[in-house]
Amino acid sequence: MIEREHIDNLTARLPEIERKLSEPDTAANQKEFRKLVREHSALKRLREKGDAYFRACDDIRGNTELMESDSADPELRELAREELAQLEQAREEAEKDLMAALLPPDPSDERSAIMEIRAGTGGNEAALFAGDLFRMYSRYAETQGWKVGVIDASANDIGGYKEVVFSVEGKSVYHDFRYEMGVHRVQRVPVTESSGRLHTSAATVAVFPEVEAEDNIEVDPDELRVDIFCSSGPGGQSVNTTYSAVRITHLPTGLVAQSQDERSQHRNKDKAMSVLKARILDLRRREEEERKGNARRSQIGSGDRSERVRTYNFPQNRLTDHRIDLTLYSLDRIIEGDLAKLIAALRDHDIQMRLEGQFGEEARGGE
């Protein structure tokens, strides 16, 4: 049983945060401003979920009292009894929502993201599949009003990608796309296959939250090797006679990032540095998680890129997400960017796992 006083104590800071957000000095300090906006959003959501839960509890209490009242009209008592089951179900759902709001928020959830898709086993078919995934994510981003920008791409001769790195800018991009991390497998008859034989290929997806000032990712220029080269197109041929493409190597870690999508060397360097900082932040987080042990290993989207997460079977129009044993027979729509149902299922499962980890049997709702 969640106490109203507990939620009131947790949300007591809301007026103070709102006052600070209205002050000019706070707006001038962007790091502090973003921190307060995130805290305000989390506490406001907690209060809304708390209000819904306690309202459901009050409704159940009122109906129960009416049922037990000797002086109440018999028809009203019967009506209260009939409504009780619906109210109990509403309270159970409201309690789960409230407990989810009590979970510590991931500060990266509201950020933009940098994504990387690499063709794996399967040759040209794997490269075509990597291109399909890129278009799938791009079309989903369009439906959310997010902006997609290619940073670096290595295309093949038939319209696929050996590798494509791109940014997705918008609110809560990482919140949705974090679940895409891992190995994606495709089963279909390739357009390059003349005998009609079913092939299995794969592509790997990596997702990094965009670095912000509060992350304190400072890179010493002396620890970088910067290479300048001509941009290349399919097959490796040069598509630009000017040396505008940039590759940056972080010598202490061996991490590499490059950009060749812009004609300006300066803009390519800025993009490559953004990717490099995101990789460094990702490495730091992984090392921190290793030190903490198994705290996040049960979470979906925790960053294991070697895990096979999904199979796309085109002959059966079937998509299977292996992490949550979910099968959908709507692959034709999903590959065109209709990811909302899939992402919602992954998010709900992830929240349930986190709830069980933090609250134990109470999170199972009496199952």
* 46-66 per-position pLDDT tens digit: 999 999 999 999 999 998 988
pLDDT for 293: 63
pLDDT at position 233: 58
Least confident of 10-19, 21-30, 145-154: 21-30
Which pLDDT score, from 0 to 100, does residue 312 have?
98
The whole-angstrom separation of Cα 321 and Cα 313 is 11
The first and second tokens of residue 257, run together, are 């990032």
Per-domain residue ranges of the chain:
4-102, 113-350
8 A C-beta contact, residue 181 and residue 197:
no
Confidence (pLDDT) at 81:
85
Q: What letter represents residue 42's amino acid?
A: A
- Residues 325-348: tens digit of each pLDDT: 999 999 999 999 999 999 999 998
pLDDT per position as a tens digit, 186-243: 999 987 676 778 989 999 999 999 988 777 888 999 999 999 988 765 554 445 556 7
161 — pLDDT class (breaks 50, 70, 90): very high
Fold of 113-350: Alpha-Beta Plaits (3.30.70)
Q: What average pLDDT does range 135-144 have in this prediction? A: 97
Enter the tokens of residue 196: 């009609």
What is the reported pLDDT for 366? 45
Q: How far apart are CA 285 and CA 279, in angstroms?
A: 10
Quick: pLDDT tens for 246-273. Answer: 999 999 999 999 998 888 899 999 999 9
Rounded to 5 degrees, what are φ and ψ at 225? -115, 120
Euclidean distance between CA atoms 133 and 339, whole angstroms:
11
